[in-house]
Homo-oligomer: A and B are copies of this chain.
Amino acid sequence: MRVKAHPFTSQWAVRPLDLLDRRWLSLLARKLRGAPLRIRLWNGASVATSEGPPVATVIVHDRTTLVRLLTNTALAFGEAYMSGRLTVQGDLVRMIEGVNRALPPNPATRRRAATPATARRNAHVHYDLGNDFYRLWLDDAMVYTCAYFDRPDASLEDAQRAKLEYVCRKLRLRPGERVIEAGCGWGALALHMAREYGVSVRAYNVSAAQLQYARERAAREGLADRVTFFDQDYRSIDGRCDAFVSIGMLEHVGPAQYDALGSVIDRVLDRTNGRGLLHFIGKNVPMPFNPWVTKYIFPGAYAPALGEMLEDVLQPHTFSVLDVENLRLHYARTLALWLERFEDQAETIARMFDPVFVRMWRLYLASAQAGFLSGDLQLFQVTFARAADNTSPWTRDSLYAHQSDGSL
């Protein structure tokens, strides 16, 4: 005897499947045990993953998504959120932060390094989305890295300016000095250094859209004679400099190229009193980046542990580490402000791209914020110098002397 409907929907099959769904739901809940959330299925079945009140409810709209969540949770969550096969009711940031805090860290695996061609393609995917897009939610100087909130109530604009200043103070820039910047974004730091500190800057980047913007800005501000923007990979940096700076580029370098980066710094930096600053997203222990982020947001991204970066970038060249500061809470706040502005512009962005893009970017900004809040992501600023240089200040007092009056 044959039944008309597909067996999975026939009367006799519903119950076993229903049982399976509940079993999968309970396995997923066990995997996320301790996270402050509730998971609800398309059929109304639901389970809480911790005793306390949930900060959000995750609604899984179909069986395929439920099964995928069991095997590759981070990637499946991201893809289902993007496609709308999963929705989140409640606080997305606090939900992800809670999941991060509940789950043990992944084991370490090292990622392959990007070749110059791959590096260029990776940068294109993200940074060439269009200056108009980034202008909608970044600060007015277009700084797309962690800000520095020297006052708790600082605006994003103030905090980004404070960050540029803070970096310049850590670098101890003096008029007439030569600076090389690797990965210069839209040029905000390069122009700030030239304008406020009277240095000359060679700034490198592989994003065409960013470079165009930066060059126009340098011309408009009359700084084109002191800031040169190069459409080149960090590996082809040349010239000599008194200070080397890189803000938010190391994440894209890949650990197999750390030695190459260290060699570049060693080659270009003044032998006597050269000093440098690396500002990058890091981890407490070596581990792979979130797989959804590396697939959809930052191809090739890798955030190193501090020790890993030191051993592979700075130590082989006997640089002396002067100062390390962890600014992860500043990045959480930066991302919160970006996400707020992003949401304000969500309709415009949906028209520029599409709703999937909006969900993708909302999830990226929210999960990055959550990562910094939960302590899964770190933001390290590492200041270093030539080993035999005795000119660095004895104390850090001068870094903080300017703050009380709020002047920059």
Expressed in whole angstroms, the Cα–Cα distance for A319 and B284 within the complex equals: 6
Interface centre among A284, A328, A397 (most CB of B within 10 A): A284
A205 an interface residue at 8 Å Cβ cutoff? no
Expressed in whole angstroms, the Cα–Cα distance for A403 and B395 within the complex equals: 11
Q: Mark A360-398, 1 if CB is under 8 A from B, else 0.
A: 000000000000011110101000001111101011110
Chain B nearest CB, measured from A358 CB (Å): 29
A121 an interface residue at 8 Å Cβ cutoff? no
Asked whether A311 lies within 8 Å of B320 as measured between CB atoms, the reply is no
Chain B nearest CB, measured from A279 CB (Å): 14
Expressed in whole angstroms, the Cα–Cα distance for A309 and B305 within the complex equals: 13
Known interface pairs A285-B318, A324-B321, A324-B324; A149-B394 also in contact (CB < 8 Å)? yes
Indicate which residue in B307, B318, B392 contacts A105 across the interface (CB closer than 8 Å).
B318
Expressed in whole angstroms, the Cα–Cα distance for A314 and B376 within the complex equals: 15
A73 an interface residue at 8 Å Cβ cutoff? no
A329 an interface residue at 8 Å Cβ cutoff? yes
Asked whether B152 lies within 8 Å of A316 as measured between CB atoms, the reply is no
Expressed in whole angstroms, the Cα–Cα distance for A396 and B399 within the complex equals: 10
Expressed in whole angstroms, the Cα–Cα distance for A396 and B150 within the complex equals: 10
Known interface pairs A305-B310, A321-B324, A374-B388; A330-B394 also in contact (CB < 8 Å)? yes
Asked whether A400 lies within 8 Å of B389 as measured between CB atoms, the reply is no
Q: Mark A90-101, 1 if CB is under 8 A from B, else 0.
A: 000000000001
Asked whether B150 lies within 8 Å of A395 as measured between CB atoms, the reply is yes
Chain B nearest CB, measured from A373 CB (Å): 7
A212 / chain B contacts, CB cutoff of 8 Å: none
**Total copies of the chain:** 2
Asked whether B306 lies within 8 Å of A152 as measured between CB atoms, the reply is no
Chain B nearest CB, measured from A117 CB (Å): 30
A326 an interface residue at 8 Å Cβ cutoff? yes
Chain B nearest CB, measured from A144 CB (Å): 21
Q: Mark A33-70, 1 if CB is under 8 A from B, else 0.
A: 00000000000000000000000000000000000000
Q: Mark A139-154, 1 if CB is under 8 A from B, else 0.
A: 0000000000110100
User: A residues 280-314 with Cβ under 8 Å of B?
Assistant: 284-286, 305-311, 314
A18 an interface residue at 8 Å Cβ cutoff? no
Indicate which residue in B318, B319, B321, B397 contacts A403 across the interface (CB closer than 8 Å).
B397
A285 / chain B contacts, CB cutoff of 8 Å: 315-316, 318
Residue of B whose beta carbon sits closest to that of A282: B321
A88 an interface residue at 8 Å Cβ cutoff? no
Q: Mark A397-408, 1 if CB is under 8 A from B, else 0.
A: 101100100000
A209 an interface residue at 8 Å Cβ cutoff? no
A354 an interface residue at 8 Å Cβ cutoff? no
A325 / chain B contacts, CB cutoff of 8 Å: 322-323, 396
Knowing that A307-B309, A329-B394, A396-B399 are A-B contacts, what are 19 other residue pairs whose CB atoms are under 8 Å apart, sorted by A's residue number?
A150-B395, A152-B394, A284-B318, A284-B319, A284-B320, A285-B315, A286-B315, A305-B311, A306-B307, A307-B308, A310-B310, A321-B380, A325-B396, A329-B392, A375-B386, A375-B389, A375-B390, A395-B403, A396-B396
- Residues of A that sit less than 8 Å from B by CB: 101, 105, 149-150, 152, 284-286, 305-311, 314-316, 318-326, 328-330, 373-376, 378, 380, 386-390, 392, 394-397, 399-400, 403
